[in-house]
Amino acid sequence: MPDSLQLASPSPLTTLTEDEILFRDNVRQFADDKIRPLSKEMDEKGMFDHALIDQFFQLGLMGIEIPEEYGGAGGKFFEAILAVEELSRVDASAGVVVDVQNTLVANALLRWGNDDQKKRYLPKMAADTVGAYALSEAGSGSDAFALQTKAEMKGDEFILNGRKLWITNGKEAEIFVLFATVDASKGYKGITAFLIEKRFPGFTVGKKEDKLGIRASSTCELILEDCRVPRENVLGEVGKGYKIAIETLNEGRIGIGAQMLGVARGAWECAVKYAQERKQFGKTISEFQGIQFQIAQMATDIEAARLMVYNAARLKDGGVDFVKEAAMAKLFASQVAERVTSLAIEIYGGYGFTKDYPVEKYWRDSKIGKIYEGTSNMQLATIAKMIFGK
């Protein structure tokens, strides 16, 4: 199969610069050579190969937007999106490890961190330290600001108590952007963001969830029992955590769109290849118009998703408002991923329903796209709000 099956001729939104093409191709080659051979085993074991994370750092994939002065690549948000797409084309768990590091944790530090915080943490994140983003709790999913984790100021420290759930990269992370309330009576205006190190007293990583998809990616509970956090580790301002959470997740949604785009592409490429190999009634099934139409519709959906994801990323890099476009990109790309991966299984027939072939994993990995970093209903609510101004 060619390195990249072409879905359509380049459009203004999908046209890449020479540097972007080189970067994309390097990530694609790495994913095919190093990640693909390990994907099935990592999925079965529910564990990500740490040697791959080391290689992510060596390639600069964990600090794409971090400025060179802090040891990062000094790249653009769009390059992070390309990386997430290409990694997810092979393994969605790999895509989300890089996604959370770049679009959530590093982005939050770059935008809201003070000079001291940037000097302390950005070089580590560029070199060898995984980050995680801890907002969700048992009672606060879509209603993110119903969180119950409390932060009480005592002397030069905040004392945090509570539990966080469904935290991606929880097992591997050493740095956490974590949200707690300093005053529950103030509602969302009491929410504060903290930079928490794994070594802080009173901080524990709890159980790792056993999931349907993206199984190699760790999704963990975090436990805070009188966790002591220095005052200087408040990210942004006390009481302004809600603003950090909202604005960072807007960027993160483009990353999830890229992840789902990659998942759909991976499944589609498998389906095209299989259709050209599988014979029934004396000819390959790719010669039947019914299969051709399915493949064509999948390709069209993927191209539309790509346009939306790339457009949102370009808008972000251009300093133009992108909130609606980010919500649309995540909403549509997750729908496309679920639809395309399901059709890929059907094209494989009975084989697609077994774990001997990769398409069932793509389908399982696609489901999370409609759930995390804002469910599809929350994306629709955001889009409607942007349309009607309410």
Tell me: do 368 and 249 sit in the same domain. yes
Write the DSSP string, 63-127.
SSSS-GGGTS----HHHHHHHHHHHHHH-HHHHHHHHIIIIIIIHHHHHH--HHHHHHHHHHHHH
Tell me: do 196 and 264 sit in the same domain. no
Write the DSSP string, 264-330.
HHHHHHHHHHHHHH-EETTEEGGGSHHHHHHHHHHHHHHHHHHHHHHHHHHHHHTT---HHHHHHHH
H-helix or E-strand spanning residue 199:
none
pTM of full prediction above 0.85: yes
Q: Is 119 within a domain?
A: yes
pLDDT at position 144 is: 82
Q: Is 365 within a domain?
A: yes
pLDDT at position 14 is: 72
Q: Is 4 within a domain?
A: no
* Domain harbouring 136, CATH code: 2.40.110.10
Euclidean distance between CA atoms 387 and 314, whole angstroms: 21
Closest CA to 121 of 70, 179, 80: 70
pLDDT at position 141 is: 85
Q: What percent of the chain has pLDDT over 70?
A: 96
pLDDT band at 75 (very low <50, low <70, confident <90, very high): very high
Tell me: do 156 and 235 sit in the same domain. yes
Tell me: do 368 and 285 sit in the same domain. yes
Task: Specify the number of domains making up the chain.
Answer: 3
| Marked catalytic residue, from 65, 157, 269, 373 | 373
pLDDT at position 11 is: 64
CB contact set of 299 (below 8 Å; sequence gap of 6+): 7, 8, 268
Does the pLDDT value for residue 76 go beyond 70? yes
Contact 327, 382 (CB under 8 A): yes
Give residue 156's identity as a one-letter amino acid code: D
pLDDT at position 6 is: 59
Domain limits at 101? 18-129
Tell me: do 146 and 23 sit in the same domain. no
Q: What are the structure tokens assigned to 375, written together?
A: 């469910």
Q: Which of 240, 269, 288 is the last residue of a domain?
A: 240
pLDDT band at 238 (very low <50, low <70, confident <90, very high): very high
Virtual torsion, Cα 334, 336, 341, 343, nearest 10 deg? 150
Region of poorest pLDDT, from 57-71, 80-94, 136-150, 248-262:
136-150
Tell me: do 259 and 349 sit in the same domain. yes
Give me the chain's average pLDDT, please.
Answer: 96
Tell me: do 265 and 380 sit in the same domain. yes
* Domain harbouring 367, CATH code: 1.20.140.10
Q: Work out the average pLDDT over 4-17.
A: 67
Tell me: do 224 and 348 sit in the same domain. no
Tell me: do 218 and 292 sit in the same domain. no
- 269: number of Cβ within 10 Å: 20
* Domain harbouring 25, CATH code: 1.10.540.10
Write the DSSP string, 313-376.
HHHHHTT---HHHHHHHHHHHHHHHHHHHHHHHHHHGGGGGSTTSTHHHHHHHHGGGGTTTS-H
Contact 245, 135 (CB under 8 A): yes
Q: Work out the average pLDDT over 230-238.
A: 97
Residues paired with residue 230 on neighbouring β-strands, in sequence order: 157
Q: Which of 240, 275, 294 is the last residue of a domain?
A: 240
Query: 38-55 burial by CB neighbour count: b if 16+ within 10 A, else e?
Result: bbeebbeebbbbeebbee
Closest CA to 100 of 112, 89, 88: 88
pLDDT at position 1 is: 43
In a 3-state reduction of DSSP, which class is residue 7? coil
- Catalytic site residue 373? yes
Tell me: do 263 and 367 sit in the same domain. yes
pLDDT at position 2 is: 45
Q: What are the structure tokens assigned to 203, written together?
A: 């901080």
- 327: number of Cβ within 10 Å: 26
Tell me the pLDDT tens digit for each residue of 107-165: 999 999 999 999 999 999 999 999 999 999 999 988 888 899 999 999 999 999 999 99
H-helix or E-strand spanning residue 165:
strand 157-168
Residue with tokens 């409390």: 150
Tell me: do 176 and 255 sit in the same domain. no
Residues paired with residue 132 on neighbouring β-strands, in sequence order: 176
In a 3-state reduction of DSSP, which class is residue 226? strand
Give residue 106's identity as a one-letter amino acid code: A
The sign of the dihedral angle between the CA atoms of 179, 183, 189, 192 is: negative
- Rounded to the nearest 5°, which phi and psi values hold at 172? -90, -20
pLDDT at position 5 is: 63
- What is the longest distance spanned by two Cα atoms in the chain? 80
Give residue 264's identity as a one-letter amino acid code: A
